Amino acid sequence: MTSKFLRALLATAVTLTFPAFAQTGSGAAPTSPATTTANPPAATPAPAMVNTGTRIGAINIEAAIFNTNEGLRDMQTLQKKYEPKQAELKNQNDELEALKKQLETQGPKLNDDAAATLKKQIESKQKLFDRAVQDAQEEFGSQQQEIAGRILQKMAPMIAKYAQENGYGMLLDTSKQWPQSPVLLAGEGVDITKPVVDIYNAQSGVAAPTPSGAGAKPPAPKPTAAGTTAAKPTTPKTGETPK
């Protein structure tokens, strides 16, 4: 496995998840997941290794990163940090929904001026809320990207070494599912995500964090109904927002 492989691995866009705030009616509620794509920083080239393997394997890079003890710990910390913002956005959303409900129920009874004033108030608060949601998403996503990039920097050489020692000549990233990914099928028999996570945990020396709420340790990636490896790490729960 050559240093070129390591640089390519680190340059690969890693699908990251961060909190999104799904539309509930015409207002947004900070509860449902979304995804984004991050580009981890390039690593210093590793010493060249000869790759003579012929096996083809698969690894869910996203799940590998966030299933490590370090990834779980750091995401718990990040989620805890954003709990006040989550509560703030929920309060804004509740207030906005109350005004919309008021317009819906009292609108026909209001005179034109009162109805117009209420509509403008809703419009103004909606814009402020949408902007606050976007800012929160971007800030959270940026910090989650930093966590993923830092862990991947250290994980990439371990992946390369594992592939060399176990005869893999090609590894496919199953972080995304087909058709977003060119990988149509990747059964459990070729998936090396768990052993890579185990190796990383052993070398990092980071103890497994105590599960707490959204920071609970996610299950290992499971095959989908079509047999592909699911790319759904659950810390955050595929983008679950802090609670």
Q: What is the CATH number of the domain that holds 71?
A: 3.30.910.20
In a domain, 220, yes or no: no
User: Would the pLDDT of 74 be above 60?
Assistant: yes
Quick check: 31 pLDDT over 50?
A: no
Do the Cβ atoms of 197 and 68 come closer than 8 Å? yes
Are 57 and 189 contacting, i.e. CB atoms less than 8 angstroms apart? no
Task: Give the mean pLDDT of 121-138.
Answer: 95
Q: What is the mean pLDDT of residues 161-175?
A: 92
Summarize the confidence of residues 5-11 as an average pLDDT.
Answer: 49
Would residue 222 count as lying in a domain?
no
Strand, helix or coil at 168? strand
What is the reported pLDDT for 154?
Answer: 96
The SS3 call for residue 219 is: coil
Q: How confident is the model at residue 15 (pLDDT cuts 50, 70, 90)?
A: very low
Cα gap 231→160, rounded to integer Å: 20
191: enclosing H helix or E strand: none
Q: Show the domain range for 120.
A: 3-215
Q: What does the pLDDT average to over 167-172?
A: 92
Instruction: Establish if 38 belongs to a structural domain.
Output: yes
In a domain, residue 236? The reply is: no
State the pLDDT at residue 182. Answer: 80
Residue 129 lies inside a defined structural domain of this protein: yes
Interatomic CA distance for residues 232 and 137, integer angstroms? 19
pLDDT at 153: 95
pLDDT at residue 88, rounded to an integer: 96
Name the one residue in this structure whose structure tokens are 């419009």: 123
Q: Which helix (H) or strand (E) holds 198?
A: helix 193-204
Of 25-34, 133-142, 144-153, minimum mean pLDDT range: 25-34
| Residue 128 or 215, more confident | 128
Distance CA 203, CA 87 (A): 37
Q: How far apart are CA 145 and CA 126, in angstroms?
A: 28
Indicate the average pLDDT of the chain. Answer: 75
227 inside domain: no
Residue with tokens 């090609």: 170
Q: How far apart are CA 219 and CA 231, in angstroms?
A: 11
**How is residue 97 written in tokens?**
């929904």
Pairing of strands 14-19, 33-38: antiparallel
- Torsion of Cα atoms, 86 then 90 then 93 then 98, to 10°: -170
Spatial contact of 170 and 65, defined as CB atoms under 8 Å apart:
no
Those residues whose C-beta lies under 8 Å from the C-beta of residue 216, and which sit 6 or more positions away, are 234, 235
**Residue 159, domain member (yes or no):** yes
Q: How far apart are alpha carbons 109 and 125 in whole angstroms?
A: 22
Cis amide bond preceding 179, omega within 30? yes
For the entire predicted model, the pTM comes to 0.65
Is residue 231 situated within a structural domain?
Answer: no
Which residues sit opposite 59 in a β-bridge? 173
Instruction: Read off the amino acid at residue 82.
Output: Y
Asked if 222 and 228 touch (Cβ cutoff 8 Å), the reply is: no
Please tell me the total count of domains within the chain.
1
pLDDT at 211: 78
